[in-house]
Amino acid sequence: MRVYLAKELLEANQNNAGENRSLLRASGVLMVNLIGSPGSGKTALLEHTLKKLSGYRTAVIEGDLYTDEDARRLSSWCNQIVQINTEGSCHLEAGYIGHLLAQENLLSAELLFIENIGNLVCPAEFDLGEDIRVVLLSVTEGNDKPRKYPLAFKVADAAVVTKTDLLPYCDFNLNQLNEDLRKINENLALFTVSTKTGEGLGDWCKWLEKLLQRKRSA
């Protein structure tokens, strides 16, 4: 019997992530990893992002414990969706993603989105080889998430505050959030969006487009 230490598992994952990153670089695909708690608005943000970026070739890897409900919801806006059901595992791993990159023709996309398992702990620890990691936080969750789960925000490239149309009804302070985030990650890009009103979605999508153009010209 062989006992695998957590360090060994993370090192193996990191090696797989490096291989994924090389494949993406060679193909010019921008891969975006979305993480956030259950109910933070990942699927809604992705749905509206796919609508706005319909002029690009897009693909989605949809991670869930069970069911394909979110994948079916997104299918109206993206023809290339691959479902992963972990059946209990709280995160995706780079090996899963590498297998799909090799088998599912995902490298033909320009923008590849991963909707990770709803969790702010485990997904933060596992690099998938993504170009950009984005953490979502809804105003209904309160201000304490960055302080309670700092790693998720420390390793992210951007934070998206969702459901801002509910700000008048929630005890949520954007100024306090910004202050907390800067203490954790001063380079974090911050977006405030509402999929109900459309607020902030334009800025978010323009940012993704700039990142894609930058990758193409690298």
Residue 179 backbone dihedrals phi, psi, to 5 degrees: -65, -45
The CATH code of domain 6-217 reads 3.40.50.300
* pTM assigned to the model: 0.94
- pLDDT, tens digit only, all 218 positions of the chain: 444 445 667 788 899 999 999 999 999 999 999 999 999 999 999 999 999 999 999 999 999 999 999 999 999 999 899 999 988 788 899 999 999 998 888 999 999 999 999 999 999 999 999 999 999 999 999 999 999 999 999 999 999 999 999 999 999 999 999 999 999 999 999 999 999 999 999 999 999 999 999 998 87
DSSP string, 5-68: PHHHHHHHHHHHHHHHHHHHHHHT-EEEEEEE-TTSSHHHHHHHHHHHTTTS-EEEEEEESS-S
How much is the pLDDT for 140?
Answer: 97
CA dist 33 and 150 (Å) reads: 17
